[in-house]
Structure 1
Amino acid sequence: MRLFAATAVAVFCFAGFCQAAEGRKPQIEFQEETYVLAFSQANQFEALNEYVPENETIDEWSSLIAIRTYSGRKDYRELAGRLVQALKQKNPQARAAVLMSPDGKRTKVDFVTWDTAAEITEFNIFIYQLSADGQGVLVQQYAERAYGKEEGLELLRELKDRRPKLLAEIADFAFPAIRKN
Structure 2
Amino acid sequence: MKRRSFCGLLCVLPGAALWAQPASFRFDGENYIQQFVGAPPSGDRVVEFVRPTENLNNWTRLVGLRFQQMPFLDNDPVAAALQLERVVMKANPQARTSVMSNETKTDATIDFLTWSADQAGMEFNVFRYVKSPDGRGLVSLQVAHRFQASEPQVAEKLRATRMSWVRQVVEHDMGAVTQAVMARR
| TM-score, normalisation: structure 1 | 0.81
Tell me how far apart the structure 2 counterparts of residues 9 and 115 of structure 1 sit (CA, whole Å).
Answer: 18
Asked whether the 8 Å contact 1:42–1:180 carries over to 2, the reply is: no
Asked whether the 8 Å contact 1:27–1:36 carries over to 2, the reply is: yes
Partner amino acid, structure 2, of 1:149: A
Higher strand share: 1
Determine the structure 2 residue equivalent to 1:33.
Answer: 30
Asked whether the 8 Å contact 1:106–1:128 carries over to 2, the reply is: yes
Q: Percent same amino acid at aligned positions?
A: 25
Determine the structure 2 residue equivalent to 1:166.
Answer: 165
Query: Aligned pair in 2 of structure 1 residues 115, 134: CA closer, same or farther (>3 Å)?
Result: same
Shift of 1:155: 3.5
Asked whether the 8 Å contact 2:24–2:32 carries over to 1, the reply is: yes
Determine the structure 2 residue equivalent to 1:143.
Answer: 144
Shift of 1:115: 0.3
Q: Which runs of 5+ in 1 are unaligned?
A: 14-24
Shift of 1:150: 0.7
Tell me how far apart the structure 2 counterparts of residues 61 and 155 of structure 1 sit (CA, whole Å).
Answer: 18
**More divergent stretch after superposition (153-162 vs 169-178):** 153-162
Determine the structure 1 residue equivalent to 2:19.
Answer: none
Q: Over aligned residues, Cα RMSD in angstroms?
A: 2.7
Shift of 1:132: 2.2
Partner amino acid, structure 2, of 1:37: Q
State the number of aligned residues.
169
Tell me how far apart the structure 1 counterparts of residues 100 and 108 of structure 2 sit (CA, whole Å).
Answer: 6
Asked whether the 8 Å contact 1:7–1:86 carries over to 2, the reply is: no
**More divergent stretch after superposition (130-139 vs 153-162):** 153-162
Tell me how far apart the structure 2 counterparts of residues 83 and 100 of structure 1 sit (CA, whole Å).
Answer: 14
Tell me how far apart the structure 1 counterparts of residues 171 and 128 of structure 2 sit (CA, whole Å).
Answer: 11
Determine the structure 2 residue equivalent to 1:86.
Answer: 87
| TM-score, normalisation: structure 2 | 0.79
Tell me how far apart the structure 2 counterparts of residues 115 and 91 of structure 1 sit (CA, whole Å).
Answer: 9
